[in-house]
Amino acid sequence: MLGTSPSCTIFVHEGAMGHEDEASTMNTGNFYQFLRALLANAAFIALLSSALTLPARAQEMPFVDTERGTFLIHGNYCGPGNRSPRPPIDALDVACMHHDMCSPPRGQIATCACNDRLHREAEAVSLDPNQPESLRDTAGLVADTATALPCR
């Protein structure tokens, strides 16, 4: 149940958390932060599942480097972290590189302008008929994910 007051009530249904119905109240700002984080995680999971179902020829993706905290779903720049100074492999990787260059250091939230730019550039790749279908599909997913990323 959402209202226009500065707080809202969230209802938990029986069985959802293993106990009887209960309600808890949280600040509306916290609720929206929670929703944004939930959307970002959902978008990341969708991106990850897409990367894991790509054909074997898809450039050894995903790339994981646990020491650097890197998890790439495409190229050298698409995903958390990057493989700088390697060059981008295609137009989508260029868009992701631009987002990395625009974003603050790790652990800080990117600006909305950075995420908007990633959305625009990745969407342009997804709509380009000259690009391979698999790249257009991945670019569309990156573009959609960019709209769900938290920003400041």
Tally Cβ neighbours within 10 Å of residue 124. 15
pLDDT band at 119 (very low <50, low <70, confident <90, very high): very high
Q: Is residue 122 part of a domain?
A: yes
Q: Is residue 1 part of a domain?
A: no
pLDDT band at 65 (very low <50, low <70, confident <90, very high): confident
pLDDT at residue 23 greater than cutoff 50: no
Q: Is residue 2 part of a domain?
A: no
Q: Is residue 129 part of a domain?
A: yes
Measured distance CA(26)–CA(68) in Å, rounded: 36
pLDDT at residue 128 greater than cutoff 60: yes
Q: Is residue 127 part of a domain?
A: yes
**Could you report the per-residue pLDDT of 30-40, keeping only the tens digit for each?**
555 555 555 55
Which pLDDT value is given to residue 37? Answer: 57
Measured distance CA(20)–CA(71) in Å, rounded: 39
Range of the domain at 65: 7-148
Q: Is residue 52 part of a domain?
A: yes
Range scoring the smallest mean pLDDT among 8-12, 23-27, 47-51? 8-12
Measured distance CA(22)–CA(14) in Å, rounded: 8
The count of domains in the chain is 1
Measured distance CA(30)–CA(35) in Å, rounded: 9
Q: Does the pTM exceed 0.75?
A: no
Q: Is residue 59 part of a domain?
A: yes
pLDDT band at 60 (very low <50, low <70, confident <90, very high): low
Percent share of the chain, pLDDT over 90: 46
Q: Is residue 60 part of a domain?
A: yes
